[in-house]
Structures are given as structure tokens and as C-alpha cells.
Amino acid sequence: MRPLFLTILLFVTALSGYYTQSSDRQPSLRQPSLGQPLPRQPLPRQPLDRPNILWIVSEDNSPLLGCYGDTFATTPNIDKMATQGVRYTNAFATAPVCAPSRSTLITGMYPPSLGTENMRSTYPSPAFVKFYSQYLKDAGYYTTNNAKKDYNTTDQLAAWDESSGKATYKNRKAGQPFFAIFNLTVSHESSIHKSTPTEQLRHKPSRVTLPPYHPDTPEMRHDWAQYYDKIEDMDTQVGALLDELEKSGEAENTIVFYYSDHGGVLGRSKRFMYESGLRVPMVIRFPPKYAHLAPAQPGTTTDRIVTFLDFAPTVLSLAGVPVPTHMQGKAFLGKQQGPARDYAHAFRGRMDERIDLVRSVRDKKYRYIRNYMPHKIYGQYLEYLWQAPSMGSWEAAYKAGKLNDVQKKFWETKPVEELFDVEADPHNIHNLAGDPKYATVLEKLRKVNHDYLVQIKDVGFIPEASVQEIARTTPLFDYARSGKYDVKKVIETAEMASLGDPKNLKELTRKLADTDPVIRYWAVTGCTILGNKAASVKTQLLALLNDPELSVRIAAAEAVAGLGEKEKAVDTLIGTLKIGNQMARVQALNVLDQLGPDARKAYPAVKAVIVGEKVDGSYDIRAAERIIAKTEN
């Protein structure tokens, strides 16, 4: 318990900061204007038993805000909120893209343990996993979501009292506490797909400070300037929601969170495992009556590491609702607050139509990244990402040989491991993994990553064509605990395979005949990574073109194509396109795309994939259209 005098001091300090309001919303590129304080309101007689909780969630933005030191940003409302609340400097998404991140938020569980890792998948969660809003609703809260869901798993419609573009906490019963989310989409990636005329931009392209990994092209400058405009628009919407709360009379009863669903939004941020993709802004404002729940005084910062895995337990803790034992995060506020975490874990699986597999660990100083498919370049073509004009200009500059070493790395294959000092290198461009001075740090974080994958039984290492079949009858979380998934053996095989070390070929060859198809898949992938250094096992790889497991057959086709057997590879891939497994088609189309003109025999089969309407989730169609478009150019 705090001494009485300290409680009174915190209360008065919070009160003075909280009731300082601004009537001036003119944008400022430097310092947010605080305006003139409004008359003080009467003190509440007694705290409510349970606070209201309001989440304001923006889309696709890194901490490009004035309160985080960005002097080019125009964000007076969030900046002011930071003077009234606590700003988090180490808040992280678990994935650098929306749907998997939102899966973490809604369940309080880590998607690679649930099988909800891959973008826009709807694989089922176990029956015991309820959305956190259901627990709040059962405890008497009025729960509203306005309006994005994108939970990457089977929806639970009953978890909300309202979920729509019109959902509002104002429809609750008198005296009923509420939990409300407002998702602001104005800063979403799509906001830069159509260029605003330069003369209409409020942030001028000529004044943009480009990150060192981006080339200085007109399109890149324009997209950055337009994005800052969208951030300003988002900030205006935040201000409107805060004003609405104030006018409703509930501001004094409501804890307000502002945060982004992941980083973004130009190339190498959203979808990518760097600070630009995973670190998010977060400010939490506590009204005076709940100042005792705040981790620090208003207008201050905390460097406590928090991740989206912790948000559901934290909301339940603040609301006085018991945190279910299956939730894998730690509450960082409220009576059920746990000890501060040492690490933030993150993941990347399939992004739209492109396959990759990456894991990351972040402490307060270093980010470690493990690439399990280092033979795939960072800049794999994604139809949606390439709608931004800046992406085409970046790729054109690469093909023209106009990029420096930092800028062209995006178009090259990846190292197996990456290590960055985030304090000295916030843009993550100086990989320290090969520097002997950092060997101890590298070894420590490598082990932290490995141990966590085994602990949570990471099912992301099961190829998605197999996941699709398993999920027809069994949630992946349950499958991983059924005795059928040897996670330790799988992780060790994937680690060995990704190293690309010829010394491991003998062991990989032995694993090509393993009874577990996931082990065979990773052994084959290891041979693909080795390339010509795996030529001695070509006969075994050719035999696997007839493997009973779809994903192994496709992986074998990729491996033998790299060893000169392109025709046999293409024949195998044509066969897999005709099977009713969408993720097998996506895997096969990825390989055919890499083969270029050598895959022309498959073009009729590829065209046959392009049927029906292309919607979110039609990733086989997107991949097929890319192949056909390349043949026509």
C-alpha cells in the first residue's frame, strides 16, 4: 500500500495534468500547443468500482508522432494525451501485419502456438479460447467494437454487445461500465495507393527525411509526405474521440489507451521484422480517480517491455476480471500485474501470397532475428504492397543499379541471423551477428528464441498445405499437444536446414527419409538452401517428388529444379495445382514464379487457377496472376 500522503500527491498531480485541455487544434510541426486550461471540474465523490476502458487503435503506423520526437509529424492530440498520460517506449506488436497481430490481441495467446500465424487464415482455435471481450461482457461490461475485426481465426459473434461501424458505448445501461474499441483506418497502407496531388499535400515531399534504406526517388518522397498527412488525419480523429468522451461525461471514469496495430507503412516496415514493423506507439491516460493504477505520473514515460500478448490480460486485470490461465501474456497493469518481461517475441509467416518464416526476440537494447528461409529475398513481390508507387520506384532503382549497399539489401537473400543494437542503430541497418564482439549477446538471444519456440510448441514450422488439412478436424493448438508433433525435433531440423552448411548434408540426407513429413519438408528445404552443394542427394530428392505429403512434393520440386531437373519439377508442380488445397497451390505457385520462363509448360495450369472473384484470401489467384503478368510483359 502507498502511504496516504503519496497517494494524495499522485492524485493532485494527475488531476492538474488531466484537466488541462486545448481548444486549439491547429497543426504544429514542432511542439503541440497546450492552449488555455478549462475551469477545473468538481472532484468525483468516490471512484467507480470498475473503470471504463477505451481503446483507440490506429492502423499501420510506427511511433511517427511528435511525442516520440518526430518533429515532422503533426500530432497535437496524441502529443497532448502523452502529457496527460504515460507513454510507453518499448511497446511491440507480435507480428508486423494486422490479422496475426489482432489474433494475439483478441485471444491473449501467441499465434504460432494457436496456428493463427499466417496472414488472413481462419484456422480454428480450441474451444476453451474465448475472446477477452466475452470475459468482460460476462462480468457486466458493455463491450463495443467499431469496427475492424480481422482476428485471423473463427469469429465469436457473441463476444460483443455491438460490433459495427455504428457501435458506441453510449447505448449501454445507466451505470454500466464499458469497454469500447475504435479502430481508425485512415492511416492504413491503402491510404498511399492513390497519390494525392503534390500541391495538396500538407507535408511537403522536399522536407521528408528518408530512412537510410530508402532511395531518394520522387515517388518515395511523395508517399512519405502523403503518409504523414494521413498520420495527421488520424490524430485529428483521436482528438474527436477524446472530445466525445469528455462531452459524454465519462472521461473522469475512463482509462484511455492509444496504440497502433503494428508498424508501417512504406516498404520494409509493415510485414518486416524490424523496429519499423514491430515497434508501436502507445499512450495510456488514467483519470485522477484511477491514478493509483498508473505505472508512473502523467507526462512521463516507461521503458517496460510490453507486447500485444499482454493486452488482453491487462484489460481483464484493470476490470477486476480473473485472467484465464491459458492466456500466455502478462498483465502489466492492475491487481493481477505480473513481473516485467525481459523479452518481446515476434513472428512472421506467410504474408498474403508469399511464403516466408521468421522469428525475432527483442530486449531493451538488441533485436535478434532468425530467418528460417534465408534463400528467399526480403522483397518478394506482393501484389498489395506493390500498389504503393514508392515500391515500384525502389525496385526500378535496384534494377538500374542506382542503390547503395544499404538500399539494395532489400532485394537480396537474407542472412540466417540478424542482430541490431536498437539504441545505436534504430533503422536496423548494421547487422552485428557476424561481429565477434557481440558473440555473447548473439548466443544468448539465439537460445532465448529457440527455447521459446519449443516452450509454446510453435506450429508455424508445419507447412501451411499440411496445416490446412490438419485444421479440417483439429485445432493446431490441440494437434501440437496430441503427441503427433515433435516440436523440439522440428525446430532443431529447421535450424540446421536454414544454416546452409554443407557439414550438415549427411544429417539432412538421413532426415529425408524420416517418418515425420514435417521433418522431411525441412530436410528438403535445407537441400534447396544448399543448392549445388546438395547435388549428391539428387536421387533421393527426385524420389520425394512422389512423397505422399503435398508440401514435401512441392519442396522437393523446388530443390531438384535448383539442381537442373526443371522439367520434372514443373510436371510435379502442375499436378499439385489441380488438387483442392489452396495453400498447396500457393506454395507451388511461389516455386513456379521463381522458375520464370522455365515454367512456361505450367502456364495453362496456372491460368486455370484464376477463376472466380479475387477477394481477401485469394492468394493463389494473386500468385497466379503475377506469373501470367510476367509472361505478358
Q: Are strands 52-58 and 178-184 parallel, antiparallel or unpaired?
A: parallel
313 grid coordinates: 490480460
Dist CA 343 CA 270 (whole Å): 21
Per-residue exposure over 68-89, b if at least 16 CB sit within 10 Å of its own CB, e if not: bebebbbbbbbbbbbbbbbbbe
Annotated catalytic residue within 82, 98, 542, 563: 98
H or E stretch including 245? helix 218-248
- Catalytic: 98? yes
Residue 346 DSSP symbol: E
Residues with Cβ within 8 Å of residue 437, at least 6 apart in sequence: none
Check if the beta carbon of residue 315 is closer than 8 Å to that of residue 132: yes
Dist CA 571 CA 514 (whole Å): 25
**CA 528 to each of CA 491, 524, 594: distance values in angstroms, whole numbers, following the listed order:** 17, 6, 13
Dist CA 334 CA 79 (whole Å): 25
- Number of neighbouring beta carbons within 10 Å of residue 481: 13
- Number of neighbouring beta carbons within 10 Å of residue 288: 22
Residues with Cβ within 8 Å of residue 400, at least 6 apart in sequence: none
Q: Are strands 254-260 and 279-285 parallel, antiparallel or unpaired?
A: antiparallel
Of the chain, the end-to-end C-alpha distance in Å amounts to 71
Residues with Cβ within 8 Å of residue 537, at least 6 apart in sequence: 505, 508, 509, 512, 527
Catalytic positions are 98
